Chains A and B, each alone.
Chain A
Amino acid sequence: MESMSVESMSVESMSVESMSMELEQSGILQETDEFAIETIHLSKFFGKEKQIRAVDNLNLQVKKGEVFGFVGPNGAGKTTTMKMLIGLLEPSEGSGKVAGFDIVREVINIRETTGVLPEPAGFYDNLTARQNLRFYAKLYNIEPGVREKRIVNLLETVGLTRAIDQKTGGFSTGMRKRFGLAQALVNEPSVLFLDEPTSGIDPLGAQMMRDLIKELNRSKGVTVFLSSHSMEEVEEICDHIAIIAKGKLLAAGSVEDLRDMIREKEGVHYLLEVQDIPLSEAAEAVKNVEGVTAFDIRDRTLHVSAKMKLRTEIAKAVKKAGGTVSMFEEEEMNLQKLFLKIIEGA
């Protein structure tokens, strides 16, 4: 059954024509084993006439063992996507696989091998942390001895050893998030879905959470699929990032890939400080360099925009004009800015 579905998936995948360039370049669509999560044309429409396109033609590939950031503003379709991936929602179109299981037909298998920290996440506040975890663990038919040990370990992992016999109703938001993480890990999942793992917590707590995720990923090799509206967070812990807005995937790839993409789209910005000649002269010289699209003089610094990397050419042009470049910096494209730009563009 499983192989069948994989086969059919492959066939279906092959017939798909429009794919994002990045995925096409990777060229390994058929090697499903490599991916922990994979979606093809995954779409979810709401409304009577399907006019609300919550998720629109989403193609994603998450490699095993990586931390995957799914970034987008609120209402971009992150949660809907996650719901479809864990079988809580049936896709309107397209298909997907998580840990090798079909997201429509093998939901239970997916649930058994994944851990999810949903947002919002509620627990049974009348139960203690241990009782809560015990309940969840029972759903996996874990042998009681193993289960009890694992509960203690998990709570230790997330730093809630002290609160093990406290009712979760009394937990702070940060504790709840960490407890939610423990809850998601109760079945020792290979894939971890974290929906907004740091939302609503203080910066210290958020950092603690991020460290936890990184540690989990590193020590246990868990594939993490996390959604966030904070690019900084994603940038910090994720190997790969997908940006989604209004249901559409806007960009995907590693942090570096995304930066390259930005450069291509937005060009390169340089900051120069020139001595021996006035800045205006230097500007005149740079202006003539082919590929430079704009310049500006602010705060005794020359801002140059170019289509591509023109560091050498610009330096040569300044020297030729008799100036000495005392500072030459390439302006770093912040991912958050990039994210915002992308979203604005969309």
Chain B
Amino acid sequence: MKNNNVFVITQKEAADHLHNTGFLVLLATYTAIIFASTYMYGSLVHQNNSVLLSSINVKMISLFTPLVSIVLGFDAVVREQKSGSLNVLLTHPLFRDNVLAGKFLGSMLMVAAIIVFSVFVSVGTLLIFYGVEVGYIELIRIAAFTILTFFYAVTFLEIAVLISTMVKNATDSLTYNIVIWIFICVLFGAILKTVVAILTGQTATESVLITQLLNISPLHHYGEAVIGRADLSFMGVNVESTIGGIFDTEYTLTQCLVEFWMNIVVLIMTPIILFIIDFIIFLRKDITL
């Protein structure tokens, strides 16, 4: 009964997104961005690795994927609360966590659908256009990449929902989300460098302090796990690990997982922790009846 209700909410959330014109625009835009960047990138790079993998513009994806999450999640709770529909909803046989879980599942489903759709469309079109030979290794890597991207996106979804739980209206939520997005995806590396430089006088990007502080950014974990780059933000820290992430076909997937398990665990755990935080906040929140 309880699980069923979570599913009902999930379905409603998903349906709401699907019937939203904005969602379709989002899907089209995101797919176009991934495709275009991949196509352009693919014609530029000639690395030792698989052309298909190295043509995927991870930086661009890491920049835009959070926006998808933000669009899907920024008003998840605050909208219901503001409209009073949460009041009504909660009088029906389900708990608050059901509502939250259902909303998450619904939005996660959409995130997954968008990412899978975009990646498949981009890779598929690329394959037709380029005629690049692909092996199952590359397909597996792309699958792994899709999953990691999903978790990365879900992290931002959680952040978006968390903010939407805390703020008073949707506009505030969107503003805060965009600020966080700019901070993490655009400025984090540069800010970190600047702050560390000011505080310690060190300007070397390899500084241990920077490397450690980078750990608080989901972008760092995503970038490291996928292409082995410590920071993908603008003018950020330029540190690369020996293994070029899961896109490095010179190493087996197992080797990559061994090397990047911390990043992957963080990528998976962050949404879960955020969900718990979100859940607690939501439960403690007074919902005016």
Seen from chain A, the residues whose Cβ lies within 8 Å of a Cβ on chain B are: 79, 82-83, 86, 88, 107-108, 111-112, 114-116, 118-126, 135-136, 138-141, 180, 183-184, 187, 193, 195
Task: Give the residue among B2, B8, B88 with the most A Cβ atoms within 10 A.
Answer: B88
Among B2, B92, B288, point to the contact of A136 (Cβ < 8 A): B92
A86–B8 Cα distance when bound, in Å, is 21
Among B19, B87, B91, B93, point to the contact of A120 (Cβ < 8 A): B87
List, sorted by A's number, 14 A–B pairs whose CB atoms are closer than 8 Å: A88-B287, A108-B1, A111-B93, A114-B91, A116-B88, A118-B88, A120-B87, A122-B80, A122-B83, A122-B87, A135-B12, A139-B8, A139-B93, A140-B92
A141–B1 Cα distance when bound, in Å, is 8
- B96's nearest neighbour on chain A, judged by CB, is A88
Instruction: Mark interface residues in B257-289 (1 if CB within 8 Å of A CB, else 0).
Output: 000000000000000000000000000000111
Q: How many A-B residue pairs have CB under 8 A?
A: 75
Contact of B16 with A by CB under 8 A: yes
Contact of B203 with A by CB under 8 A: no
B146 to chain A minimum Cβ distance, whole angstroms, is 30
Are B88 and A140 neighbours in the complex by a CB distance under 8 Å?
no
Task: Give the residue among B2, B85, B91, B287 with the most A Cβ atoms within 10 A.
Answer: B91
Seen from chain B, the residues whose Cβ lies within 8 Å of a Cβ on chain A are: 1-2, 4-5, 8, 12, 16, 19, 80, 82-88, 90-95, 287-289
- B81's nearest neighbour on chain A, judged by CB, is A122
B80 to chain A minimum Cβ distance, whole angstroms, is 8
- A123's nearest neighbour on chain B, judged by CB, is B85
Given the interface pairs A126-B19, A139-B94, the reply to whether A119 lies near B88 with Cβ below 8 Å is no
A125–B83 Cα distance when bound, in Å, is 9
A111–B5 Cα distance when bound, in Å, is 13
Residues of A contacting B88 with CB < 8 Å?
116, 118, 121-123, 136, 180, 183
Given the interface pairs A118-B289, A122-B85, the reply to whether A88 lies near B90 with Cβ below 8 Å is yes
Are A124 and B289 neighbours in the complex by a CB distance under 8 Å?
no
Residues of A contacting B289 with CB < 8 Å?
79, 82-83, 88, 118-119, 195
Task: Give the residue among A111, A122, A138 with the most B Cβ atoms within 10 A.
Answer: A122
Q: Give chain B's interface secondary structure class.
A: helix
**Which 5 A-B residue pairings sit nearest by Cβ, starting from the closest?**
A122-B84, A116-B91, A111-B93, A122-B83, A122-B85
Given the interface pairs A88-B289, A126-B16, the reply to whether A139 lies near B83 with Cβ below 8 Å is no
A136–B4 Cα distance when bound, in Å, is 13
Are A111 and B92 neighbours in the complex by a CB distance under 8 Å?
yes
A196 to chain B minimum Cβ distance, whole angstroms, is 11
Residues of A contacting B287 with CB < 8 Å?
88
Residues of B contacting A112 with CB < 8 Å?
93
A315–B56 Cα distance when bound, in Å, is 103
A126 to chain B minimum Cβ distance, whole angstroms, is 7
B60 to chain A minimum Cβ distance, whole angstroms, is 32
Given the interface pairs A79-B289, A122-B86, the reply to whether A139 lies near B91 with Cβ below 8 Å is no
Residues of A contacting B84 with CB < 8 Å?
118, 120-123
A121–B288 Cα distance when bound, in Å, is 10
B184 to chain A minimum Cβ distance, whole angstroms, is 31
Are B8 and A135 neighbours in the complex by a CB distance under 8 Å?
yes
A119–B289 Cα distance when bound, in Å, is 6
A108–B83 Cα distance when bound, in Å, is 24
A183–B230 Cα distance when bound, in Å, is 53
Among A83, A119, A120, A139, point to the contact of B92 (Cβ < 8 A): A139
Residues of B contacting A122 with CB < 8 Å?
80, 82-88
Among A118, A124, A135, point to the contact of B91 (Cβ < 8 A): A118
